Chain A
Amino acid sequence: MNTNVETFKYDNRIVRAFGIVTVLWGIVGMLVGMLAAVQLFFPDANLNLQFITFGRIRPLHTNAVIFAFVGNGMFMGIYYSLQRLCKARMFSDFLSWFNFWGWQLIIVSAAITLPLGFTTSKEYAELEWPVDIAIAVVWVAFSVNLFGTIAKRREKHMYVAIWFYIATAITIAVLHIVNSMEMPWSWMKSYSMYAGVQDALVQWWYGHNAVAFFLTTPYLGLMYYFLPKAANRPVFSYRLSIIHFWALVFLYIWAGPHHLLYSALPDWAQSLGMVFSLMLIAPSWGGMLNGLLTLRGAWDKVRQDPVLKFMVVAVTAYGMATLEGPLLSIKTVNSLSHYTDWTIAHVHVGALGWNGFLTFSMLYYLWPRLYRTNLWSTKMANYHFWIGLLGMMFYAIPIYVAGVTEGLMWKQFTKDGFLQYPNFLETIVQVVPMFKLRAVGGTLYLVGTFLMAYNLYRTAKAGQFEPDTEAQAAALAKAPVGHGKPSWHRLLEGKPLFFTVLTTVSILVGGLIEIVPMFLIQQNVPTIASVKPYTPLEVLGRDIYIREGCLGCHSQMIRPFRSETERYGEYSKAGEFVYDHPFLWGSERKGPDLAREGGKYPDAWHYNHMDDPRSTSPGSIMPRYSWLLTQKLDTTSLPARLNALRKVGVPYPAGFENGPAQNDLQAQAEKVAADLKQGSVTAEPDREIIALIAYLQRLGTDIKSAPATTAAK
């Protein structure tokens, strides 16, 4: 027996700091969400300012909620629990604060750059390359601190929560690096290294697993720590938690392609994504039941304690979302749900229920302990619980209704075989009342969060903050302390490095099998001879399309259904996107698909539509883009853009960017301006709208033209 008892201190300052910013950024993220939600039924809520228009603040909302609210909540919980599970102070106070301030700086840079239109357009990875580098640096600091603390622990065994933290640290690093491979063309802009189908696969491998390893695994680790703590009883089955961990970590990484069902992605990859998504139900529900059953015999406490109330709803929401996710991955279900608001409802059950409520429960648990007092008002916390729950319902139910309505209306044919609702606008106007109800739900949820902020503030005022908590534990013995004959797993989790390697292998297997063939097999992306690179003017137009976040509402991927080909035209082929750096398929339709937009309307229609969408489409919820009519087109950066595109594989001839490109651009711009004149619109050829119109008129037209003599490589 080791009698070498050591006294040491847990760092509470860092936990408190992360807690405070969790609340602050949570409120900011939700407010931005409200602003976006209101614009969906009242487009003028953008005050005709480009910086707060839906397309730009939608990524701001998602980034704020995921990386600022949940991210800081995750750090708060990890910094508290890791120290106590390892019976050691964090490895380095400097790294803790580097992690804190670095992360806040990244959030602030996101809050500035996204409204300014600096975006890669890849969902949840919108931040541009300098910020990507900063994220990598801060993440490394966090990881070193995590592994350093594990290395100096005084507890021989690593509790299951720590496994989840390790999986998070490693997988997020891998995902972030692979998906952020981009070619910069200015200090804040870049093009994705990947194109079209490959870009889509890498992006959704990332996007799906960002949900898995940023919103799920760390929070599961926190659940396995804070739920037993709050209930004051051990986890229901530690054995089940082991199975939960390994099955989840191994399976999750395969499921990314379920975001691309019925797209131009090869069928085998789609099927792989679907099957593995379905299998995910098992470990997810194992984890949910493990959490809920931990409360066996303690349900009377749930009635009293707001912390447990929030936890029960969080774990239940986890179960609901992880059942719904696999169901949405079934191709037939997905054919109805994809591009509709159903997906939005699904992610909000996860975000508001699972992440939001678990974060609230941790804050209510931690604040009285950090300030050595009782919660200022349990009653107010209970109000928060009910208002938040009501807000969640008011959010989710109308949006589910909206989603199913959209899906059904898009697919509805008359008995004569024509589309029942050929005008896309009809289907959106139909669900606008649901958008209004959703905003009510969001408001309620936000009101609850304000109540919590006030309650925590009063708790802090009433108590006295304890910057360090003194603790005692025996130093770790060199030889394993006996619990009988050591088993494989005990040996494994006694060796963090080996454990980490095995976790890494588990996530890489799925990733590699999914992605490598896509890059190796030529027939996955059959080239189409008539598909050509974009012209210089179209490149600029495409960049404006990206800047304005058009893909937040408009997909560019027509699925092979009659309801889609009737509405939009020929379904999309993989070979049409070989020059798309990045791909712009989108994941949501608040407006019609634009993959075959080229040639559908005259240039003047686009001009007027951008100036005031309701002048051409009464009832439209699209914002006005009047600034595009006045802002001058930036042609000075054209050589840098074309050069970067050539470097990532677009076959522009050598020297094209130096002179011919500018001439080409001028000629096409003047042609667009002349076309506009024919439509009684006078526009200068050097305005942004000209480039955007050129790009929109190009979309999907390549395969309509006669086969070219040279094959596009």
Chain B
Amino acid sequence: MLYNIAHSLLRDVENVNAFGLFSLIVFFAFFVGVLFWAFQLKKNYLNHMSDLPLDGGEICKSSTDKIQSEEL
């Protein structure tokens, strides 16, 4: 049924360029939403997230770990 509806809607759309416009509007709305999202995030949360890769929870067992972390 959905196919038929979409088919009848689209078949007569001579000017399918509207798709381009529609796509841009969808993306613009999406992008603004993401921006809004990103900018209301709290500083302490962002700091916590940024630090995640730096603490892998490994237990430091030998001196080589120390050498590596000092060298790199």
Hey, which bits of chain A sit against chain B, CB under 8 A? 7, 10, 81, 84-85, 87, 154-155, 157, 159-161, 224-225, 228-230, 232-235, 238-240, 242-243, 246-247, 250-251, 254, 266-268, 271-272, 275-276, 279, 301, 305, 307, 365, 368-369, 372-374, 469-473, 483-485, 487-490, 506, 509-510, 513, 516-517, 520-523
Inter-subunit contact B48/A483 (CB<8 Å): yes
Are B68 and A368 in touch, CB under 8 angstroms?
yes
A251 and B19 contact, Cβ closer than 8 Å, known pairs A81-B53, A234-B54, A484-B44: no
Within the assembled complex, what's the spacing in Å between the Cα atoms of A154 and B56?
A: 11
Instruction: Give min CB distance, B39 to chain A, whole Å.
Output: 7
Chain B residue contacts of A488, Cβ below 8 A = 37, 40
14 contacting pairs across A/B (C-beta < 8 A):
A234-B53, A238-B49, A242-B41, A250-B27, A268-B16, A272-B19, A275-B20, A368-B68, A470-B61, A484-B45, A513-B26, A517-B10, A520-B7, A521-B11
A160 to B68, CA, bound (A): 25
Q: Which residues of A contact B19 (CB under 8 A)?
A: 268, 272, 513, 517
- A84-B57 contact, Cβ under 8 Å, with A254-B23, A268-B16, A374-B68: yes
| Of the residues B34, B50, B71, contact of A246 by C-beta under 8 Å | B34
What is the bound-complex CA distance between A509 and B58, given in angstroms? 41
B48 near A157 with CB under 8 A, answer yes
Chain A binding surface SS class: helix
Alpha-carbon separation in the docked complex, A368 to B23 (Å) = 48
Complex CA gap A509/B54 in Å reads: 35
Q: Are B37 and A472 in contact (CB under 8 A)?
A: no
Residue from the set B11, B27, B35 with the largest chain A CB neighbour count within 10 Å:
B27
Which residues of B sit under 8 angstroms from A229, Cβ to Cβ? 53-54
**Chain B contact patch, size range:** 35 or more
Q: In whole angstroms, what is the CA distance A488 to B38 when docked?
A: 10
> Judging by beta carbons under 8 Å apart, are B41 and A487 in contact?
yes
- B contacts, CB < 8 Å to A: 6-7, 10-11, 13-14, 16-17, 19-20, 22-24, 26-27, 30-31, 34-35, 37-42, 44-54, 56-59, 61-62, 64-65, 67-69, 71-72
- Closest residue of B by beta carbon distance from A240: B38
Closest beta carbon of chain B to A15's beta carbon, Å? 13
Task: Find chain B residues with CB under 8 A from A266 CB.
Answer: 16
Nearest 9 pairs of A and B residues by beta carbon: A234-B50, A84-B56, A471-B57, A473-B57, A159-B52, A246-B34, A238-B46, A238-B50, A483-B45
Task: Kindly list chain B residues whose C-beta atoms are within 8 Å of the C-beta of A250.
Answer: 27, 30-31
Closest chain A CB from B68 CB (angstroms): 6
List residues of chain A with CB within 8 A of the CB of B68. 368-369, 374
Nearest CB of chain B from residue A373's CB, rounded to whole Å? 6
Task: Answer whether A159 and B67 are a contact pair too, CB < 8 Å, given A243-B34, A271-B17, A305-B72.
Answer: no
A307 contacts B61, C-beta separation under 8 Å? no
Residues of A within 8 A of B26 (CB): 509, 513
- Inside 8 A of B31's CB, which chain A residues have their CB? 247, 250
Q: Measured between alpha carbons, how far is A520 from B6 in the docked complex, in Å?
A: 8
Partner among B41, B53, B59 whose Cβ is within 8 Å of the Cβ of A85: B53
CA distance A471 to B61 in the complex (A): 10
Complex Cα distance A246/B31, Å?
A: 8
Structural contact, A242 and B37, CB atoms closer than 8 A: yes
CB distance from B16 to the nearest CB of A (A): 5
Bound-complex Cα distance A480 to B51 (A): 18
Q: What residues of chain B lie closer than 8 Å to A506, measured between beta carbons?
A: 30
- Interface residues of chain B: helix, strand, loop or mixed (majority): helix
**Which of chain B's residues has its CB closest to A369's CB?**
B68
How many A-B residue pairs lie within 8 Å, measured between CB atoms? 151
A247, B33: Cα distance in complex, Å: 10
Q: Is the CB of B16 within 8 A of A84?
A: no
| A521 CA to B19 CA, complexed, in Å | 13
Chain A proximity of B70: nearest CB distance (Å): 10
Would B20 and A268 count as touching, CB distance under 8 A?
Answer: yes
Contacts of B45 in A (CB 8 A): 483-484, 487, 490
**Contact across chains for B72 and A159 when beta carbons are under 8 A apart:** no
Q: How far is the CA of A242 from the CA of B34 in the complex (A)?
A: 8
* Contact status A251-B16, CB under 8 Å: no
Distance between A253 CB and nearest chain B CB, rounded to angstroms:
11
Q: Name the residue of chain A whose CB is nearest to the CB of B18.
A: A268
> Which B residues are CB-close (under 8 A) to A7?
59
Most buried by B among A247, A272, A301, A513: A272
Asked if B35 and A243 sit within 8 Å, CB to CB, the answer is: yes
Give min CB distance, B34 to chain A, whole Å. 4
B33, closest chain A residue (CB): A246
**Is B16 a contact of A243 with CB atoms below 8 Å?**
no
Q: Tell whether A239 pairs with B46 under 8 Å between CB atoms, given A228-B54, A230-B72, A489-B41.
A: yes
Q: Are A472's CB and B48's CB within 8 A?
A: no
- B16: nearest chain-A partner, CB-CB: A268
* Residues of chain B contacted by A472 (CB below 8 angstroms): 57, 59
* B residues near A234, Cβ cutoff 8 Å: 47, 50-51, 53-54
A204 to B45, CA, bound (A): 40
Q: Separation in Å of the B57 CB from the closest CB of chain A?
A: 4
Whole-angstrom distance between the Cβ of A460 and the nearest chain B Cβ = 14
Q: Which residue of A lies closest to B63 (CB)?
A: A372
Closest to B70 in A: A232
Residues of A within 8 A of B35 (CB): 243
Give the Cβ gap from B19 to chain A, nearest Cβ, in Å: 6
Q: Which residues of A contact B46 (CB under 8 A)?
A: 238-239
The residue in chain B whose Cβ has the minimal distance to the Cβ of A294 is B50
On whether the beta carbons of B42 and A470 are closer than 8 Å, the reply is no
CB atoms of B67 and A157 under 8 A apart: no
CA distance A428 to B46 in the complex (A): 54
Q: How far is the CB of B56 from chain A (nearest CB, A)?
A: 4
Expressed in whole angstroms, the minimum distance between the Cβ of A62 and any Cβ of chain B is 30
Contact check, A521 vs B50: say whether CB atoms are below 8 A apart: no
Chain A neighbourhood of B67, CB < 8 A: 374
Known: A238-B49, A239-B41, A488-B37. A232 touches B72 (CB 8 A): yes
Q: Which one of B23, B24, B72 lies within 8 Å of A307 (CB-CB)?
A: B72
Residue of B nearest to A492 (CB): B37
Q: Which residues of B contact A228 (CB under 8 A)?
A: 50, 53-54
B39 touches A516 (CB 8 A): no
Give the chain B neighbours of A368 by CB distance below 8 A.
68
Q: Which residues of A contact B65 (CB under 8 A)?
A: 372
A509 proximity list for chain B (CB < 8 A): 26
Chain A residues near B34 (CB, 8 Å)?
242-243, 246-247
Report the minimum CB–CB distance from B46 to chain A (whole Å): 5
Contact between A520 and B38 (Cβ–Cβ < 8 Å)?
no
Could you tell me the distance in whole angstroms from the C-beta of B54 to the nearest C-beta in chain A? 6
Whether the Cβ atoms of B23 and A522 lie closer than 8 Å is: no
A521 vs B9: C-alpha distance in the bound complex, in angstroms?
10
Complex Cα gap A469–B57 (Å): 10
Contacts of A369 in B (CB 8 A): 68
